[in-house]
Amino acid sequence: MVKTTDSSPKLKRQDWIDAGLKVLAESGVEAVRVEPLAKLMKVTKGSFYWHFKDRQELLDALLAEWVKLQTNSIIERVEAIKADASTKLLRLFEIAIDDDGKEENAIRAWATNDSKVAAVVAQVDRKRLEYTRDLFVQIGFTLPEAIVRARMAYYSLVGEFTIGTRTDRAERLAEVRMEHAILTATSVNSQLSIRNSQ
Amino acid sequence: MVKTTDSSPKLKRQDWIDAGLKVLAESGVEAVRVEPLAKLMKVTKGSFYWHFKDRQELLDALLAEWVKLQTNSIIERVEAIKADASTKLLRLFEIAIDDDGKEENAIRAWATNDSKVAAVVAQVDRKRLEYTRDLFVQIGFTLPEAIVRARMAYYSLVGEFTIGTRTDRAERLAEVRMEHAILTATSVNSQLSIRNSQ
DNA sequence: TTTTTACCATACGGTAGCGTATTGACAGTG
DNA sequence: CACTGTCAATACGCTACCGTATGGTAAAAA
C-alpha cells in the first residue's frame, strides 16, 4: 500500500488510472465513465480532462497498465525459484490462484467487443502459454503433448477465473496439486506420451 | 431456419428475444438497448414497449431463453447415444466445441455485474459439472478424482471459450481427443488413482 | 360492416454522460 | 512581489437512451 486514494492534495494521472482499474475490475469497462469516476474521487471532471484528452485515453492507459503489471510478474516470480520444471509448474499454479482474476475477467469481457484489446490479451495469452508449454517440455513431454497439457492447465485456470466461484483457498490449493499430478503423470493406456524418466 | 428476421409482417415477442440474443452474443448486454434494437428491426420502440414492460423485462427474457436453449440440449444429445461412459465423454467434448461460445461468453461477462445472472449461470455450471463428474465416476475413477478431472475438462472448455481464438475445427477436434486421452488415463506415478479396469 | 385486437409511429419530457471553454486557487520560482 | 505552471470548479451545449402518452392502421372477429 503506497498511497491509495484520498490523500487530499493534488491528483496525478496515475491516481486516475488506479481508480479506473478498480472500477474496471469491479464493474466492467462500461462502468468506467469520467463523471462517476470524478465523483468517486471527490473532484469534478475538470480535473480529469486536465490529465486525459478524453475517456478513450484513460481506457488505453488502463489496458497498458494491466499489461505492465501482470505480464512479467508471475513468470518472473516462478523463474526466481531454483527448482526443477515440475516444481516450477506447481508453483505457477499456486501463484496463479492467488489472484481473484476480477481485473483480468473484466479485461477479457472488454476484449470481446474491442479488437484492439483482444489483440493485446491474445499476446499475453500466447506468452503465458508458451512459458507453460516450455515447462512441460522440460519435464519431458514431447512438444505436441506439452502443448495440449499446457493448454489444459492454462485454460483451466482461465476457466476457473471466469466461473469464479471459489473462495476456499485451501481447497483450491489441494485441487491445483491434484491437477498438477494429473497433468504431469505419464499415461499408461495411450500412445500419447513417452516421458523420458528424469 | 424458420423465420429469422425481416419477415415484414408483425413482430412477436419472440422476435425481439431472438434479436436481443444476437446482439447480446455479438456485443454484450450493454449493447442491448431498446432504441438501437428497434432500429435494427426496422420498427420504432413503440413496438418494443407493446411487448415488454421495460428493458429489464427483455434482459430477463434473454437470460431465461439462454437457460432454456442450452441447459438440456447438450447433455441430452450425449445421453442419446448408446455407448460407454468414456465414449460419451469424448462425444461431450466434441459437441461442446461446436459452439463458438459467444453467447455464453456474453452471459458470463454479464454475470460479473449482476448477481441474479450470476446465480443462474452458477446453477448451469453446477449441472454440467455434475454430469461430467458422473461420467468420470462411471469410467472408474474415485469421486475426488472424478471431481477434479471433471473440473479440468469443464474449466478448460470454458477457458477456451473465453480466450476464444480457435477457428480450425479439425485442430480443435484433435486436441480435444488428446485431452480426453489424458484425462481418462490412469496415472502411473501417483497415489491418486485406482482405475477399476472397466 | 362494424368493432376489436394487435401492432406500430410520433412526439414528448427526463436523465446520464461526453467534451469544451472559461475562470479560479494555490504553490513554487524568479 | 509578480509570474507561471498545475490542478480543479463551474457552466454550457450536445447526444443517446429511457419510458410514457396518444393516436393510427390493418387484420381478424363479431
Digit-coded pLDDT (tens) for B48-83: 999 999 999 999 999 999 999 886 688 999 999 999
Asked whether the beta carbons of residue B156 and residue A160 sit closer than 8 angstroms, the reply is no
Asked whether the beta carbons of residue B155 and residue A155 sit closer than 8 angstroms, the reply is yes
| In-domain check, residue B67 | no
Using CA of residue B84, residue B87, residue B93, residue B97, what is the dihedral sign? negative
Q: State the pLDDT at residue B155.
A: 95
| In-domain check, residue A154 | yes
Q: Which of A136, A22, A137 is nearest to A89 (CA)?
A: A136
Q: What pTM value is reported for the model?
A: 0.86
Measured between beta carbons, the chain B residues lying within 8 angstroms of A162 are 108, 158-159, 162
pLDDT in tens, A65-96: 999 988 668 899 999 999 999 999 999 999 99
Residue pair B90/B139 in contact by the 8 Å Cβ criterion? no
Q: Which nucleotides of C are covered by protein (CB under 7 A)?
A: 6-11, 16-22
- Does the structure show a pLDDT above 70 at B89? yes
State the count of interchain CB pairs (< 8 A) between A and B.
133
Q: State the pLDDT at residue A11.
A: 64
Average pLDDT over residues A28-44: 96
- Does the structure show a pLDDT above 90 at B130? yes
Q: How far is the CA of A35 from the C1' of D1 (A)?
A: 39
Task: pLDDT band for A185, please (50, 70, 90 cuts).
Answer: confident
Residue pair A158/A109 in contact by the 8 Å Cβ criterion? no
Q: Which nucleotides of D are covered by protein (CB under 7 A)?
A: 6-11, 16-23
| In-domain check, residue A191 | yes
Q: State the pLDDT at residue B186.
A: 75
Residue pair B50/B68 in contact by the 8 Å Cβ criterion? no
Q: State the pLDDT at residue B187.
A: 59
- Does the structure show a pLDDT above 70 at A6? no
pLDDT in tens, B8-48: 566 689 999 999 999 999 999 999 999 999 999 999 999 99
| In-domain check, residue B8 | no
Q: pLDDT higher for B163 or A70?
A: B163
Report DSSP state, residue B30.
G
Average pLDDT over residues B172-187: 88
Whether the beta carbon of B165 falls within 7 A of nucleic chain D: the reply is: no
Query: What is the C-alpha to C-alpha distance for residues B66 and B104, in angstroms, rounded to an integer?
Result: 8
Nearest-by-Cβ selection for B28 from A27, A113, A165: A113
Residue pair B88/B81 in contact by the 8 Å Cβ criterion? yes
Q: How far is the CA of A42 from the C1' of D4 (A)?
A: 27
**Would you state the cell numbers that stand for residue B125, as one nine-digit string?**
455450471
pLDDT in tens, A153-170: 999 999 999 998 777 889
The C-alpha cell 423485462 sits at B57
The C-alpha cell 473462495 sits at A167
Question: How many angstroms separate the CA of residue B77 from the nearest CA in chain A?
Answer: 24
Query: What is the C-alpha to C-alpha distance for residues A18 and A16, in angstroms, rounded to an integer?
Result: 5
Q: Does A180 touch chain B (CB under 8 A)?
A: no
Task: pLDDT band for A198, please (50, 70, 90 cuts).
Answer: very low
Q: State the pLDDT at residue B166.
A: 74
HEC string of chain A? Answer: CCCCCCCCCCCCHHHHHHHHHHHHHHHCHHHCCHHHHHHHCCCCHHHHHHHCCCHHHHHHHHHHHHHHHHCCHHHHHHHHCCCCHHHHHHHHHHHHCCCCCHHHHHHHHHHHCCHHHHHHHHHHHHHHHHHHHHHHHHHCCCHHHHHHHHHHHHHHHHHHHHHCCCCCHHHHHHHHHHHHHHHHCCECCCCCCCCCCC
Asked whether the beta carbons of residue A125 and residue B163 sit closer than 8 angstroms, the reply is yes
The C-alpha cell 430477463 sits at B60
| Closest-CA residue of chain B to A173 | B148
Whether the beta carbon of A10 falls within 7 A of nucleic chain C: the reply is: no
Q: What is the biggest distance separating any 2 CA atoms in chain A, rounded to whole angstroms?
A: 67
Whether the beta carbon of B46 falls within 7 A of nucleic chain D: the reply is: yes
| In-domain check, residue A174 | yes
Query: What is the C-alpha to C-alpha distance for residues A28 and A108, in angstroms, rounded to an integer?
Result: 10
Q: Which of A61, A8, A9, A7 is nearest to A34 (CA)?
A: A61
Residue pair B182/B131 in contact by the 8 Å Cβ criterion? no
Q: State the pLDDT at residue B9.
A: 65
Average pLDDT over residues A31-50: 96
Range of the domain at A144: 83-196
Q: Which nucleotide is nearest, taking the CA of residue B13 and each C1'?
A: C7
| Closest-CA residue of chain A to B120 | A163
Average pLDDT over residues A29-57: 96
Q: How far is the CA of B35 from the C1' of D15 (A)?
A: 14
Average pLDDT, chain B: 88
Lowest-confidence region among A105-119, A139-153, B8-22, B92-106: B8-22
Q: State the pLDDT at residue B28.
A: 96
Measured between beta carbons, the chain A residues lying within 8 angstroms of B155 are 155-160, 163
Question: How many angstroms separate the CA of residue A28 from the nearest CA in chain B?
Answer: 8
What is the number of H-type helices and E-type strands within chain B? 10, 0
Tally the domains of chain B: 1
Q: State the pLDDT at residue A4.
A: 35
H or E stretch at B87:
helix B85-96
Q: Which nucleotide is nearest, taking the CA of residue A9 and each C1'?
A: D7
Q: pLDDT higher for B147 or A185?
A: B147
Residue pair B156/B179 in contact by the 8 Å Cβ criterion? yes
